[in-house]
Structure 1
Amino acid sequence: MRFGITFFPTVGPEHRGAADYYDEAIELAVLADKLGFHHVKTVEHYFFAYGGYSPDPVPLLTAIARSTEQIRVATGAVIPAFNHPVQLAARLAVLDNLSRGRLDVGFGRAFLPDEFAAFEVPLDESRARFEEGVRAIERLWTEEDVVWEGSFHRFGPVTLLPRPYQRPHPPVFVATASSPASAHAAGLAGRGLQGVPAISGRQGFLDILAAYREGWAEGGGEPGRESVQISFGLFLDEDGEEARRLGRYDEEQYSERIAVATRAWGKARSADYPGYERLEEAGKLLHFDRRLKENQILAGSPDEVIGQLKEVADWYGEDITLSFTVHSGNLPLETSARTLRLFAERVAPALAR
């Protein structure tokens, strides 16, 4: 089991400045690198306090890569539907070179109707654009004189420069919040999986994981070589009650901001997103204590979080990489730094034993 961190901002200008958020993210990434964490990951979102300070993961991850030595940098995720495949493949190839091969690339479909509207992309094209974009990018990374005749993009013959540092290309992951079908397709294609049990729930994620592993086997993947990253909120303090107080506050801010960002689902509908109209109520449905009890959030003293993580390993397997959301921007920098230090000094060694 490996451990990394995720930066998912849920703040806007009325809460704090973007420059301060980025400075603190880089400082935490440097600390995580020194403490031996596996990766640092961030998202692609637009317009809202929910993720909007990270409209493009590449610049922030580039700054982090040039400030660190060993920690991997990961997108979680970039959105092919909103980017031309040549541009996205090139930006990621530059980052792979600047990090000297420390890049993992997670691709996602996005799910906020306002983002699709801004890019003039129909929600019903989400899945098709995702598949076409990822396939085009993989070809651009690995082939020369690429000619692409797709449903949404046509180009070529072109040979991408620079070539990725990693050969044949950086590890590719598919981010899915609730779709076993997407997970199965990821496994079948030999790609990794990025999941969020806090969204899908325990049984929902078990279904996603089963579909992924089934697809991996059907695609001829080597048993035990699957790549699975799972994200959790993490709040640690020597005083478990203080950790839960901090976690509850951060969850309240998250709930308010995802409710605003998903409001458009009150009217939007798409066959590519069955049941997503319920997201309009997301802010009202999130409940910290229930999610804590179900290990959808990790919060407490080191010993309490060790107990939670043992249950997580029993549910999902020990061959997974956990990614902890530690920098939403709602809590002080020193609070996030304390969480990282306590995890590295107290929790990770106990799990290793």
Structure 2
Amino acid sequence: MPNAAKRPTLPPAGRRRAMEFGMFHEFHRRPGQTEADAFTESFELVDAAETASLDVMWLAELHCAPDRSVLAAPLAIAAAIAMRTQWMKIGIAVQVLPLCHPLRIAEEAATVDHLSHGRLIFGVGRSGFPRTYQAYGISYAESRERFAEVLEILRSAWTRETFSFHGQFYRFDDVCLVPKPYQNPHPELRIAVNSPDTYQQSGEAGLPIFVATRLGDLDELVPNLRAYREAWAAAGHPGPGKVYLRVPVYVAPTEQQAREEPRDSIMFFYKYLGERIEASATQEGARAIENRAARGQRLMSIDYEEVLRSKIIVGTPAMVADRLAALRETLGLAGILAELNCGMRIPHDRVVNSLNLLCRDVMPRFRGSGPLGPNFRE
């Protein structure tokens, strides 16, 4: 474990990269594992990422999924990571704001920001699954309004000495929260987007975004990102807006290994995901325009060749670097959140090897390069 007593505020000189490389970590519970073993193995990946000089460790938030994950409390895990790492940033991807009490989450996030000496990136979202809302006793139909209120309260709690708020769900008068964040004015906010209207809203708000290919394909992102950047520019925000892609990635020494070693895990994942998306289509609050049932059925029947073409990045280090460079040019990416074992079936040692190859042989190609491809125009 790294020496937590020597924790610099910033990465060592020369380690900053224009294109950010992160790992999306769900703290998987693989078949047959105890919860304790899942935590132990997951923290081993965290330590390996720090040693390999990964930019960011991204933490999911998952509830009521005993066959999948033990990561129900991302800020608690972030605090633990802050104390066992020295310079790797710690990201939340994402905190499901409608499920949170805004004052409590503001206090906890600010505390983690101090423990990490300003290494926290706070990603926020609503989650696409009503099932968790039902478990928490919160209406998914209210998720948009609750999200907006909690986000507004967070910003006020972090940036104002005292504040009051009177909304539909929360009312506070003359509240003073401590600690204030280590970073000024607060940790960087990024927002997960999925539906077309949230792309435009996020651009108008001037927020960096997370995008993913779980429901759709990489090609489907292009028009949505155009709408995001047009809204960003129309609102007068500087630059083009930062986009971060969450995507399954697997790197291996040979092309055959890269294709075949993750095959069973990846196909299990898309069937698992498709079943849950289809089931969610009839749950309270789900919107018909999202075509959930049809998307779920498509994922359950998708073949591996189509997955390789349109949803994931696998290959040798050179192949993965080439694919990322092309996507950076097409989508204007500022970074990625690599899902190294989305289906939980890849053995731990192979996941560690994939992580090391990504950091050692892929990331150096993107040192000193801009977040946008050479032909991308703001």
> Fold-level match, TM-score > 0.5?
yes
The root-mean-square deviation of aligned C-alpha atoms, in Å, is 2.2
Once the two structures are superposed, the pairs formed by residues 9-88 of structure 1 within 5 Å of their partners are: 9=27, 11=29, 14-49=31-66, 52-88=69-105
1:220 to 229, 236, 242: 236
1:101 to 110, 115, 118: 118
Instruction: Find the residue that maps to 1:234 and give its secondary structure.
Output: strand
State whether residues 258 and 282 of structure 1, in contact with CA within 8 Å, keep that contact through their aligned partners in structure 2: no
- List runs of 5+ in structure 1 lacking aligned partners: none
Give 1:279 shift: 4.9
Q: Could you report, residue by residue, the CA deviation over 1:294-329 in whole angstroms, capped at 9, with x for unpaired residues?
A: 2x2111222221222222122112x51111112444
Give 1:78 shift: 0.6
Structure 2 distance, partners of 1:161, 1:93, is 8
Instruction: Find the residue that maps to 1:230 and give its secondary structure.
Output: strand
Instruction: Find the residue that maps to 1:6 and give its secondary structure.
Output: strand
Structure 1 distance, partners of 2:148, 2:134, is 20
Give 1:277 shift: 3.5
Give 1:257 shift: 3.0
Letter paired with 1:320: A
Answering whether residue 22 of structure 2 is matched by residue 4 of structure 1, we say yes
- CA 1:9–1:279 in 2, change beyond 3 Å: closer, same or farther? farther
Once the two structures are superposed, the pairs formed by residues 205-284 of structure 1 within 5 Å of their partners are: 205-224=221-240, 226-262=241-277, 264-268=279-283, 270=285, 272=287, 274=289, 275-281=291-297, 283-284=299-300
2:135 to 118, 124, 149: 118
Give 1:280 shift: 4.3
Give 1:273 shift: 6.1
Give 1:156 shift: 2.3
Structure 2 distance, partners of 1:11, 1:28, is 13
Q: Could you report, residue by residue, the CA deviation over 1:134-186 in whole angstroms, capped at 9, with x for unpaired residues?
A: 1111111111221111111112221111111111000011102x312112212
Letter paired with 1:322: I
Instruction: Find the residue that maps to 2:262 and give its secondary structure.
Output: helix
Q: What percent of counterpart residues are identical?
A: 24
State whether residues 27 and 39 of structure 2, in contact with CA within 8 Å, keep that contact through their aligned partners in structure 1: no
Instruction: Find the residue that maps to 1:215 and give its secondary structure.
Output: helix
Q: How many residues align?
A: 348
- List runs of 5+ in structure 2 lacking aligned partners: 1-18, 370-378
Once the two structures are superposed, the pairs formed by residues 186-205 of structure 1 within 5 Å of their partners are: 186-205=202-221
Give 1:51 shift: 5.4
Answering whether residue 315 of structure 2 is matched by residue 315 of structure 1, we say no
Structure 2 distance, partners of 1:51, 1:207, is 33
Q: TM-score, normalised by structure 2?
A: 0.85
Match of 1:157? 174
Give 1:347 shift: 1.8
State whether residues 48 and 261 of structure 1, in contact with CA within 8 Å, keep that contact through their aligned partners in structure 2: no
State whether residues 252 and 317 of structure 2, in contact with CA within 8 Å, keep that contact through their aligned partners in structure 1: yes
- Of 135-144 and 181-190, deviating more is 181-190
Structure 1 distance, partners of 2:288, 2:179, is 36
Q: Could you report, residue by residue, the CA deviation over 1:236-275 in whole angstroms, capped at 9, with x for unpaired residues?
A: 1112212211221221231343245435325225365632
Give 1:197 shift: 3.0
State whether residues 49 and 257 of structure 1, in contact with CA within 8 Å, keep that contact through their aligned partners in structure 2: no
State whether residues 193 and 228 of structure 1, in contact with CA within 8 Å, keep that contact through their aligned partners in structure 2: yes
Q: Could you report, residue by residue, the CA deviation over 1:85-117 in whole angstroms, capped at 9, with x for unpaired residues?
A: 111111111111111110111111112122111
Letter paired with 1:208: N
